[in-house]
Amino acid sequence: MKSKLLLMCLLLFAVACSSVKKADKALSSGNYEEAIHIAVNRLQKNKDKKADKEQIAILETAFAKYKKSYLDKIAFLKKENKAYNSQQIYDLYVCLDKVQNDIYPLLPLVKNNGSEAVFEFDDYSDEIIVAKAKYVAYLYDNSNDLLKSNQKSDIRKAYNQLKELSALEPNYKNTKALLEEAHFKGTDFYLVRVINSTDQMIPKKLEDDLLDFNTYGLDNFWKEFHSVEQRNIPYAYEVVLDFSEIGISPERISEKEIELKREIKDGYTYKTDRNGNYILDENGNKIREDKIITVSGTLLQVIQTKSLAVVGQVYHYDIAKNKRINTFPLQTEFIFENAFAEFKGDNRVLNKDEKAMVNNKFVPFPSNEQMLFDASSEIKSRLAAILKRM
């Protein structure tokens, strides 16, 4: 028990020493924030432990250097007097305040030499309020400028800045209206239509189903697909699904006679020796053995088949440039198949699949229109994959 306790103490001491080395290395390399983070984490666990007290001196030095470097940076940014520096200034003040709030609950901190560590804390609340107001004003002005651009990337950047503004200052001026404007201007609108270049009729219901984009899972904040052209929508792209071939096979019925023969278990018998005497096991009981017989029968298998093949192309156009951007092939096949059978003979010869076939019946062949509907889910799946690539 003592050896385990000693081992645990040595392990904890090694961990403490390791964290001191890491913090000291971070301090020496000028990574003051990391040094503070390591020291605060250790001292939060036990600030009075002798092995961790070395962290206190490191924390005292790291905080003083961290504070000076941040205040120097803030002074330089203010001197530059550029509007876009407002974000950095605000972030730096917030970081300074956070570090103070992390250290304050640990006070007082007594170093190994018995002296109390000194931390000069400042109240940054006024500076944070002023910096935040300037940053919010910058985001508002800059996003308004970006909204005047003809580039989608600028419009989307404006949207992101307005979202940040809204998080910092909800209901600031007309931010909500500007967010809606940025989303609208930054969205790529696609107009999708279906063309039938085949000699087969495509039911209107099927066309409507293909153009119901609510079922496609195409959720994308900056893309919107329409099947009906809407007024005042600046469509950037047109997508045309052109069915070039719809092939439907004749209804086919094929018959096949299958002779079945299998060995099966049919009860059991008792083992006997050459003289007809029963053979007994070690407990004096008769030994059983399976009775195997051969059963047979004739299966008349009937298979109904009808197939549909759809071939088409998806054309992607840039409306403003009046140019085809890409062409994607779209092909799918749907096969209707129904198998049933009649049987004569010993039913025990049938396996599970053959029994299911015997229990099945003839069903009416689907119409051509129904075949197209049955294939629509596969067509939609392939079309959705193409639209997601755009």
pLDDT tier, 213 (very low <50, low <70, confident <90, very high otherwise): confident
CA distances from 155 to 124, 135, 222, 344 (A): 34, 19, 11, 76
Least trusted range by pLDDT, from 19-23, 121-125, 214-218? 214-218
Average pLDDT in the 271-283 region? 86
pLDDT tier, 51 (very low <50, low <70, confident <90, very high otherwise): confident
Q: Is the pLDDT confidence value at 261 over 50?
A: yes
Q: What is the DSSP string of 112-165?
A: TTSPBP-------HHHHHHHHHHHHHHHHHHHHHHTT-S-HHHHHHHHHHHHHH
Domain co-membership, 292 together with 318: yes
Q: Is residue 43 part of a domain?
A: yes
Q: What is the pLDDT of residue 226?
A: 95
**Calpha distance 108→163 (Å, rounded):** 41
Between vectors from CA 40 to CA 38 and to CA 43, what angle results, nearest 5°?
A: 110
Per-residue b or e along 293-305, where b marks 16 or more CB atoms closer than 10 Å to that residue's CB? eebebebebbebb
Q: What is the DSSP string of 152-185?
A: HHHHHHHHHHHHHHHHHSTT-TTHHHHHHHHHHH
Q: Is residue 208 part of a domain?
A: no
Q: What is the pLDDT of residue 13?
A: 40
Q: What is the DSSP string of 279-309?
A: PB-TTSPBPEEEEEEEEEEEEEEEEEEEEEE
pLDDT > 70 in the chain, percent = 96
Q: What is the CA radius of gyration of the chain?
A: 40
CA distances from 212 to 118, 289, 383 (A): 68, 66, 12
The domain boundary residue, chosen from 122, 144, 161: 122
Paired tokens of 117: 């560590």
**Calpha distance 154→121 (Å, rounded):** 41
Name which residue leads in pLDDT, 289 or 100: 100
Domain that holds residue 348: 248-388
Domain co-membership, 271 together with 177: no
CA distances from 243 to 4, 196, 276, 279, 300 (A): 77, 5, 79, 77, 40
The domain boundary residue, chosen from 77, 102, 122: 122
pLDDT tier, 4 (very low <50, low <70, confident <90, very high otherwise): very low
Domain co-membership, 145 together with 38: no
Q: What is the pLDDT of residue 149?
A: 97
Domain co-membership, 116 together with 143: no
Q: What is the pLDDT of residue 42?
A: 93
Average pLDDT in the 261-281 region? 88
Do the strands 235-248 and 223-226 form a parallel or antiparallel pair, or are they unpaired? unpaired
**Calpha distance 46→40 (Å, rounded):** 10
Q: How many domains does the chain have?
A: 3
Q: What is the pLDDT of residue 10?
A: 34
Name which residue leads in pLDDT, 155 or 8: 155
Express each pLDDT in 177-190 by its tens digit.
999 999 999 999 99
Q: How far from chain centre, in Å, is Cα 83?
A: 38
From start to end of the chain, where are the E strands? 188-196, 223-226, 235-248, 252-270, 288-318, 323-345
To the nearest 10°, the Cα dihedral for 9, 15, 19, 20?
A: 40
Give the type of residue at 226. H
Domain co-membership, 273 together with 376: yes
Paired tokens of 297: 């029968």
Domain co-membership, 26 together with 67: yes
Q: Is residue 14 part of a domain?
A: yes
The domain boundary residue, chosen from 162, 186, 210: 186
Domain co-membership, 284 together with 369: yes
Domain co-membership, 50 together with 148: no
Which residues are registered as beta bridge partners of 292?
Answer: 265
Q: What is the pLDDT of residue 14?
A: 41
Domain co-membership, 180 together with 61: no
Q: Is residue 12 part of a domain?
A: yes
Instruction: Examine residue 108 and say whether the peptide bond preceding it is cis (omega within 30 degrees of 0).
Output: yes
**Calpha distance 259→257 (Å, rounded):** 7
Phi, psi of 66 (to 5 degrees): -60, -45
Q: What is the pLDDT of residue 178?
A: 98
Q: Is residue 74 part of a domain?
A: yes
Q: What is the pLDDT of residue 272?
A: 86
Q: What is the pLDDT of residue 257?
A: 96
Q: What is the pLDDT of residue 162?
A: 98
Q: What is the pLDDT of residue 384?
A: 92
**Calpha distance 351→264 (Å, rounded):** 11
Domain co-membership, 146 together with 86: no
Give the type of residue at 325. I
Domain co-membership, 337 together with 366: yes
Domain co-membership, 86 together with 107: yes
Express each pLDDT in 56-88 by its tens digit.
999 999 999 999 999 999 999 999 999 999 999
Cβ-Cβ contacts under 8 Å for 178 (sequence gap 6 or more): 143, 144, 147, 158, 162
Average pLDDT in the 99-119 region? 94
Average pLDDT in the 20-37 region? 93
Q: Is the pLDDT confidence value at 11 over 60?
A: no
Q: What is the pLDDT of residue 167?
A: 97
pTM of the model: 0.74
Express each pLDDT in 303-359 by its tens digit.
999 999 999 999 999 999 999 999 999 999 999 999 999 999 999 999 999 999 999
Q: Is residue 254 part of a domain?
A: yes
Q: Is residue 222 part of a domain?
A: no
Q: What is the mean pLDDT of the chain?
A: 91
Paired tokens of 116: 């109390």
Q: Is residue 201 part of a domain?
A: no
Q: How far from chain centre, in Å, is Cα 284?
A: 68
Give the type of residue at 369. E
Q: Is the pLDDT confidence value at 12 over 80?
A: no
C-beta of residue 33 within 8 angstroms of C-beta of residue 102: no
